Structure 1
Amino acid sequence: MDFELRLARSKLEREQKERKERAKQKLERERKAKQEAVRQREAIEVAQRTRRLDALQAQIKLTQTNLGLRLGKYQSKAQGHESLLISSQTISIQSYFTSCVLAHNTLISKTSLFVSWKQLWGTGYHCHDADQLTEENLIAGNGIMFYSILEAVPGQGFGDKIKLPPSCFTELSNQGALDKGPMYFRLSKVYQDGPADSVLTEHQNQEVTHSGVLEFTAPNGTVELPPHVWNNLFPDAPVGVPLVEVRYVRLPKGTYAKLQPDGRGFSDIPNHKAVLETSLRNNATLSQGDVIAIKHGELSYNLRVLELKPSSSVSVLETDIEVDVVGAESSSDWTDNHVLKPLEIGKAESGLVEEGKYIYYKFSVDGDVSSIIASEDAHIEIKLEAGEGGDTDLYVSKHPVLFPNQHQHEWSSHDVGSKVLILSPKAQCLDGAYSIGVFGFKGTTKYQISIAVHGNSGHYINEQPSSSSSAMEAGSVECQNCRRYIPSRTIALHEAYCSRHNVVCEHAGCKVVLRREEAANHVHCKKCGRAFQQQEMEKHMKVFHEPLHCACGVILEKEEMVQHQSSSCSLRLVVCRFCGDMVQAGSSASDARDRLRGLSEHESQCGSRTAPCDSCGRAVMLKEMDIHRIAVHSQN
């Protein structure tokens, strides 16, 4: 029995050893095959690169030989117009074909054409310059040479991905560009006016950017530029037909970027780096000097790229970039309506607001102030005093709502004259950042706004309250007219005086005691039943009962609109649980499982991104990470 066991064990060990040897041999064959494939591919690329260089050199020589014939063709088309003066010196391929395109367009439009020697050959390129340019293009494109001058057409969409014509796809695919990963292009503005040898200004030198490619569906001879690329290449309205030089390049992956907002307000956005990250997902490249437009709800912020590493132009695809957002220039003022001015507790600020405009402030309640308020039974008082000749409204919200307005706020006051809002800790914790909106309701109004912490007994914090007794005196009797308790010894005299000078409002639920001369000025709204003075009724009807139009198409009154925009509007801003960005709520997710999870349309798409599990390293979708941890790792 032992002999048979030893025999079986030795046989098993021998078979295992043979399997390991076969596996090693297979891996070695695969490794050699891969190395051979790499060598063959490199040899093919070298051969293709050599053939392209030979073809370009032959084309240059052919161009030199047939230069007179080609120029004679354009001179014959220019009969009846001014003569076309062209020198016989050699020029680069780029300058020659650019001049031919311009000459042909001019002849078609039947306008006179005069091209001087400097305009066509001022660049000073000769044959060896063309060879040098070809070598530079091959180096920039990592062995791929693609260059074209196309007519720029404004397009739609976000990010920096352009649309090229199908002919560009054919040329790039023939050179093997599709096998080298994402394609990047250097875009520069072509100047058609002025001598070619003139020195470009600093502003013109900056009109160069980079982009990725979205698709190859643009009409032949054109390139469709999204707004981001168009605004960086043509900050001013282009004159005539805008031409763009498109050149294939390879870009390194970015590691560092320094950005600066063009104005104030961007840093006030909660988790503004998450907003920036979400916006940059639409981009393939970044170039130093470019301006990036960041959308946040209905607002737009412009950020300028100050510095990039490891190069002045980098790729942002599949890479982690360290981003620094520096403050705006100190020369930036507070004139923008959507800028939060800092306001300190205990200090007053004065200002001037125009009719129909908002002035915004921000203040913070830290843990120390909140604990004082809670321990001393106090509250925060926001006071707005308006000058004569105008009227204002006061709106307050807690972040992440940055700019409270008539549609979206948590607290508001519409009293005529001075306004006071009380923020009490009974309803919610007061820790956090707040925004205040001062709205010019009528005319241009001077105002003063202040924030203070008050005790609920009416005194300021740390101020000794005055001694008073609120105890009801013994033997008091209730007045039948004003319902106040009066000492019994004077009740008869009080009732006689009270019934002669005071009246009680008969409106249901009001029962307010008024002087007879004030009773005529005391009115109630027919819609909501609230009590106001006569001069306040017009403003009340306009603010509370005038129909308001939401951007989603709903028409509601003020209080219903505030509730709608805070809970059910598809355009309201919510915090994505996966990326942390403030995005529009949108509609419900199209996937039934995501709807059961309570995910919005954005969260359904954003949560489909994968991330490695902290425990097992497996790539799991973000929206299924919690289920994965519970089902696989038994983590709650």
Structure 2
Amino acid sequence: MPAAAPVLTWSSTFHLSASPPPPSLTGDKLLLPQAALERLLEAASQSATNRFQSPTYDPASWDSVSPYEQLARRNEASQQLPHPLIFRLTNLLNGRTAYAGIREFSAEENEVILSNFLRESLAIPNELDLQLQEHAAEVGASIKVEAVDVPKGTFARLRPLDAGYEEDWKPILENHLQKNFTTLAVNNILSVPRLLHQSNGQKDFKFLIDQLKPEGAEAICIVDVDLEVDIEPLNEDQARESLRQRELRKKAESSSGGQINIDGPKEGTISNDDYVRFNLRSWDQSKPIFINVPEENVDVMVITNALQGWPKMEEWTWSRFDGSKPITILPDDPDIQNAKELRISMHVYEGATIDPNSKKPTPSSSTNFLLSVTQSIDMSDDEAAAMTDDNPDNEICSNCKRSIPKRSMFLHQNFCFRNNVLCPHGCGQVFKKGTEVDHWHCPECKAFGTNTADRSTYDKHMDIAHTARRCSACDYSAGSLSELASHKTTTCPSKLILCRFCHLILPQEEDTDFTAAFTGLAPHEKSCGGRTTNCHICNRIVQLKNMETHLKHHDLERKSKPLPRVCRNANCSRIVTFTGPTDNELGLCTVCFGPLNITEHDPNHSKLSRRTELRYLTQLLKGCGKLWCTNEMCKTGRANRKPPLPVLSSKESTAAVKPLVAVEGLLSGYTSFPLHFCVDSDTQKRKNVAEMLSFADDSQGKGGWAVEWCTKAVESVSHDATDEVDLANKAKDWLEKFAVRRNE
């Protein structure tokens, strides 16, 4: 059995790095230099040597280990470190201690880099001020790091420091601890990102670690354990306040959202800092889409199913934040091409309302909304008013610029100049005197608006349109929310995609060679699509990423094929692939023309006409004697029809055949009237299957294939088919790959 990981005895003192911790260093993680790893391995080797020293080898004892086995165990254990590797940190300047797990051995020599959580635990500021920078070496020298072994944890009791926690904090905590922490220590404070509907403008929710089990443990390890977490309020007052806030939140719950249809409006409520989501799955692809929410304080964001998840404040393709006009999506917009679903998210931009008495954030209130998705243009009030400007009995007021009847212009202007003010910036807005102070024009763009009593539309506009933002997943810096949303939905390496080759949802990765824009493949897909497979049409080996282009070549080649030429014999189901010499100008296949072919010189085709007449008369007077025959120019076939056709006499047969065998009619070629010669049973079955395939899809309005293509398909697969059903299925597969539909 493999040797157990050794218990290390190792400690060292490091300088605290003057640089701030990187964003990836979260929880209780630290960075040590490479030399620390080498010293840890030396300590592990020494510990293994001490552990596997045994008294004299006794072959008769079950507990005795041979020297060879001792050496093997010692060598194996010397290369192992405890998992997880846990350290006790001591700030020698103030005596504060903390427990940590290792992230990497990538720090500078004799330096240690601590996460913000460890800095707080050791009473070290997160951002060193100027005075601290001058004494960085002194501060850094006070961090002692020693390897320790802590017990596996079974229980942790947490107490929230603020009211408002919910029962569903347990899965949030579980996920947060699993990703960021190796240990938990008594009296430490955990900062966990709040739930969206609980944020109220605050970033984190803080929990005090009050009790741990096993009993008496100062710290516990939480890696690979089944840890029970219990959350209890600090006191009764906090419990009552949390219950009150929970009840208020229930009253302001958002609507559930769901599916929406064209011209099927949806109304409901949305709580502040929450999202309500709808999806649209069917619409007329040839018409524009208008998405409208009349409430000005409700922001609307839209994406298609090409993006994973739902639209958010920083991830959208179309949006409306100013409440002015509906979102218009044109049918030729490249982002909606081939889209199967539109996903709509609504969000109330404002945060929690501040209670002037308590000065504390209160739970979010709710806002009513009415969402409508249409594909017809409704005339707005402004457009309707503009149409009345052409009335010859009206005049334009010089103050408010509205169209007013001439007979009342004098009275209107007396009132208008006394009570109304026209915006001097030229936007055309008219205000009642005293309220124009709330009207604003953006100094950086052409936007304008009016502040309301409960919110500042100017501050919102500046935050949305002119505030720099940084991508949370990469180093991209955007000048506005629109730029950030465009980055996150296009070029961000962390944008989630559904790979068209491996069918997994994963980040698209960084576009290092800048080819994604014109190849249409995400960086991950270019790498994943390098694998090869066989084309199902031509069986050639093709890379997955080139398969779409390869199939387009097949499709172009398919559509350029001419209509196949079917044998002129109305009862035959063969394709004429070779027109042959001049004596086969009847347009028959080689099988049907065989009995009519002779080697004699026949420049006027008179002999060919006589042979054709003889074959017709033989069929009509004697018949072919075949049970499956339904040839109307055959005695047997006429009798097999339902209802049967009358038998023709010699005189009637001769009269019926004469016009059919005239040289001019016979040689009129493929497009002339058909010939009627008897065929074998297999040919008759293939003929029936071909006609059935041609009629079936055409009758269902699917376009289908012409009977010529169906005939060629049946002939191509007939040698592999076992029965008529199998023949029809294989012929349909062939038609899908190689034939041209009627509507193409």
TM-score normalised to the size of structure 2? 0.34
- Higher Cα radius of gyration: 2
Structure with bigger strand share is: 1
